[in-house]
């Protein structure tokens, strides 16, 4: 009996150190499970303490270390589990190594699979580099589309030079912009055969049309809204009226400036399509019209 009692109270082997009996756990995973239950902890508690996914903890307790990501993970997880349940982590690690049979590594799973709940598992450097390259291409393409959409006629180098010039000399840049604004736009091409139409904007307005030889084309008191189209075959047609401000003129359907803006007589004014389209603005023409009227009156 003494021998039996001594055997019952003898110090168990490493595998059975936490059990206090002669029947040690079948494997290191079972030892970890018994230590966890002895402390009244659940797998979720161990997972919270170690940050190890519960499914890996279940595999360890079942002795299925081949289900873990790799040998290094198996040993590292084992040490973390041992610390959580107050077992000697070095002994647990050694037991795991013996269980693995000294193999260099547990068969790895497909390298394309990643567990989102394992922060230590990240994509390879090659995959990260490829992702960065794709991102750079997308950014460059996006910038090109943005620049083309918002600045279709702009060149990046020209814009940069303009910005440098503006920052270096704001006054000069302002003068350049003002000069560009004052520069008249290129005149549209004029069809010499475009129809010239005079429309009276007031009632009972006298007007006379004649050609370059003095031959009368039309003379009358035009009513409000009445129109007259200068004959297309007229040679050097001209006009004479005391109310140039009372007529709206169109050339090929496009409005052109009136012959005057006040009640000043105008005479011998060419009314061909080219002449009317080439006339200067009314403001600069009024003085000349007034001078013509004064000469006619004399």
Final residue in a domain of this structure, among 48, 75, 100: 100
Report whether pLDDT(159) > 80.
no
In the chain the first and final C-alpha atoms are separated, in Å, by: 158
91 in a structural domain: yes
Final residue in a domain of this structure, among 100, 135, 158: 100
Give residue 14's pLDDT. 42
284 in a structural domain: yes
Give the dihedral sign, CA 271/274/276/281: negative
156 in a structural domain: no
82 in a structural domain: yes
142 in a structural domain: no
DSSP 3-state of 150: helix
66 in a structural domain: yes
120 in a structural domain: no
Alpha carbon distance 36, 50 (integer Å): 13
Work out the average pLDDT over 28-52.
Answer: 92
Task: Region of 86 please: left (phi>0), alpha (psi -120 to 50) or beta.
Answer: left
250 in a structural domain: yes
Give residue 4's pLDDT. 40
Work out the average pLDDT over 197-226.
Answer: 94
What is the tally of structural domains in the chain? 2
Length, in residues, of the chain:
298
Alpha carbon distance 185, 247 (integer Å): 26
Structure tokens belonging to residue 177: 């912009």
Q: Quote the radius of gyration of the chain (alpha carbons, Å).
A: 50
Final residue in a domain of this structure, among 100, 121, 140: 100
Q: How confident is the model at residue 106 (pLDDT cuts 50, 70, 90)?
A: very low
DSSP 3-state of 269: strand
Residue the block writes with tokens 């709940």? 117
DSSP 201: S
Task: Region of 204 please: left (phi>0), alpha (psi -120 to 50) or beta.
Answer: left
Weakest mean pLDDT among 6-10, 73-77, 106-110, 203-207: 6-10
Strand partners, 207: 220, 241
Question: Which domain range does residue 271 map to?
Answer: 196-297
Give residue 181's pLDDT. 64
Structure tokens belonging to residue 178: 């003002």
Report whether pLDDT(104) > 90.
no
Rounded to the nearest 5 degrees, what angle is found at the Cα of 30, between the Cα atoms of 26 and 33?
A: 165
């Amino acid at each position: 009996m003494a021998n039996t009692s001594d055997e019952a109270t003898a110090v168990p082997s490493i595998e059975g150190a936490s059990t206090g009996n002669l029947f040690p756990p079948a494997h290191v995973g079972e030892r970890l499970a018994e230590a966890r239950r002895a402390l009244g902890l659940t797998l979720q508690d161990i997972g919270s303490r170690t940050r190890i996914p519960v499914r890996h903890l279940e595999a360890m307790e079942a002795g299925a270390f081949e289900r873990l990501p790799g040998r290094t993970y198996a040993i590292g997880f084992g040490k973390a589990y041992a610390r959580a349940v107050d077992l000697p982590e070095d002994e647990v690690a050694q037991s795991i190594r013996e269980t693995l049979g000294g193999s260099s590594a547990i068969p790895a799973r497909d390298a394309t699979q990643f567990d989102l709940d394992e922060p230590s598992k990240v994509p390879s450097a090659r995959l990260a580099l490829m992702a960065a390259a794709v991102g750079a291409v997308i950014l460059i393409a996006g910038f090109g589309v943005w620049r083309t959409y918002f600045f279709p006629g702009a060149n990046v180098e020209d814009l940069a030079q303009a910005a440098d010039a503006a920052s270096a000399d704001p006054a000069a840049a302002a003068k350049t912009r003002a000069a560009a604004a004052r520069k008249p736009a290129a005149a549209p091409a004029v069809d010499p055969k475009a129809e010239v139409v005079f429309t009276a904007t007031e009632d009972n307005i006298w007007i006379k049309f004649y050609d370059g030889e003095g031959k009368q084309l039309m003379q009358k008191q035009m009513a409000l809204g009445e129109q007259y189209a200068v004959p297309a075959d007229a040679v050097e047609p001209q006009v004479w009226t005391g109310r140039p401000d009372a007529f709206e003129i169109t050339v090929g359907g496009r409005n052109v400036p009136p012959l005057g803006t006040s009640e000043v007589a105008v005479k011998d004014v060419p009314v061909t399509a080219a002449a009317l389209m080439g006339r200067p603005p009314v403001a600069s023409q009024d003085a000349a019209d007034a001078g013509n009227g004064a000469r006619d009156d004399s």
